[in-house]
Amino acid sequence: MKFNKKELTQDTYYVGVNDRTKARFEDIIPLTYGVAYNSYLIMDEKTALMDSVDVCMGDLFIDKLLSTLDGRTLDYLIINHIEPDHSGAIRTLRQHYPNVQIIGNKKTLSMLDGFYGMTDNILEIKDGETISLGKHELTFILTPMVHWPETMMTYDSLTQTIFTGDAFGAFGALDGGVLDTELDLDRVWDEMYRYYANIVGKYGVQVQKAFGKLSKYDIKMICSTHGPVWTAHKDKAMEIYNQLSKGEAAKGVVIVYGSMYGNTEIMAEAVAQGLREEGIRNVIIHNASKSDDSFILRDIFKYKGLVIGSTTYNGDLHPCIKNIVAKIENRGIKNKEFAYFSSFSWGNVADKMLKEFAEKTKWNTVEFTVSEKMGVKKEGYQSAIQLGKELAKQLQD
């Protein structure tokens, strides 16, 4: 199959692919709208490819690359990020271009050996080093732990384009366009939040360090390995990553509850009512048994307020709440305005565990809580409304 070339900027082409087949990213996170594995080709006196794609899309990727190279050879493969969704096709690539030189930092090349047993025809680069393709001079910027140890970025000074690996990425296939100006971005922003929360969210400190390094570069175009190529909307994309990595969030509240027979759910609704009555407009309720964790985490990162409600189950938290609490702790999420409530039938364990969780997080927690035994009674219902109101006041301060 011969594809048309897709030029993004001078000598720089898109050769990525869309995956609408895979159910879950990393076999964990639902791909509601698919995902793009982006790869870019610069064709100067030398040709250089930025990252490759998942092995499942290898043949299609090679067809796109062959079409764009149009008879020219491939001189370099630059690996900004070696996670297999961007490196799985390297073996296939080398079958087509056996002389391609693979460029990466020390950690990348160690992983290249570890994952694929490749040690020949490689070039190790260090932070700040450059190579010239002719007119295009590429600078390598090491940005470790955004979100793997080897992650780095590559800056092309001629076109002021930065190839960022996963940074500034989003879930979602690219439907018809590649540039942000070619796409309807409404869905993309949500998928960017979900991507950040689930993939990069644990590494806010390292993202901030990367921002520090990027500050000396003039950037016109951002080429991530997932999601749109950012041009007109690059500032917004960067600002979302900047705010999320600093733990800044929008005014609003996420209520996550785990209920068995609906009593904890009634309390969740009552808390939401209290929030609304005090003027909080953005209130999102997630039933932890139904909403996928990736969407719950997205909203927790996005909004300043969080309420968790759990029934006691087998002397523990509701299993779905236990799971989401563990994911919050794993990511070390900061700066929340927090409230919690619980229910039980005989032993009130959920209240104790949520209290311990609140203390561990060091979040700003509403001082009172509600815990109902068996069915929700009038007083407990009113207290849940009051809990929402107290949290709303905390958010207004």
Is residue 194 part of the contact set for ligand FEO (CB under 6 A)?
Answer: no
Is residue 226 part of the contact set for ligand FEO (CB under 6 A)?
Answer: yes
As measured in angstroms, the least distance from the Cβ of 281 to ligand FEO is 34
As measured in angstroms, the least distance from the Cβ of 148 to ligand FEO is 6
Answer for the pair 203, 147: CB distance below 8 angstroms, yes or no: yes
Pairing assessment for the beta strands 283-287 and 24-25 based on DSSP bridges = unpaired
Count of chain residues binding ligand FEO (CB under 6 A): 8
Is residue 150 part of the contact set for ligand FEO (CB under 6 A)?
Answer: no
Measured distance CA(206)–CA(210) in Å, rounded:
6
Tokens of 371: 């815990």
As measured in angstroms, the least distance from the Cβ of 222 to ligand FEO is 15
Which amino acid makes up residue 344? F
Is residue 225 part of the contact set for ligand FEO (CB under 6 A)?
Answer: yes
Answer for the pair 202, 147: CB distance below 8 angstroms, yes or no: yes
As measured in angstroms, the least distance from the Cβ of 201 to ligand FEO is 13
Which amino acid makes up residue 343? S
Torsion, Cα 187 189 194 200, to 10 degrees, reads 150
H, E, C per residue of 106-155? HHHHHHHHHHHCCCCCEEECCCCCEEECCCCEEEEEECCCCCCCCCEEEE
As measured in angstroms, the least distance from the Cβ of 224 to ligand FEO is 9
Site for ligand FEO in 364-393 (CB under 6 A): none
What residue number has its CB nearest to ligand FEO? 83
Torsion, Cα 19 22 24 30, to 10 degrees, reads 70
Contact pattern for ligand FEO over residues 64 through 103, marking x by CB under 6 A: -----------------x-x-xx-----------------
As measured in angstroms, the least distance from the Cβ of 165 to ligand FEO is 7
Rank residues 69 and 167 by Cβ distance to ligand FEO and give the closer one.
167
Is residue 331 part of the contact set for ligand FEO (CB under 6 A)?
Answer: no
Residues that bind ligand FEO (CB under 6 A): 81, 83, 85-86, 147, 166, 225-226
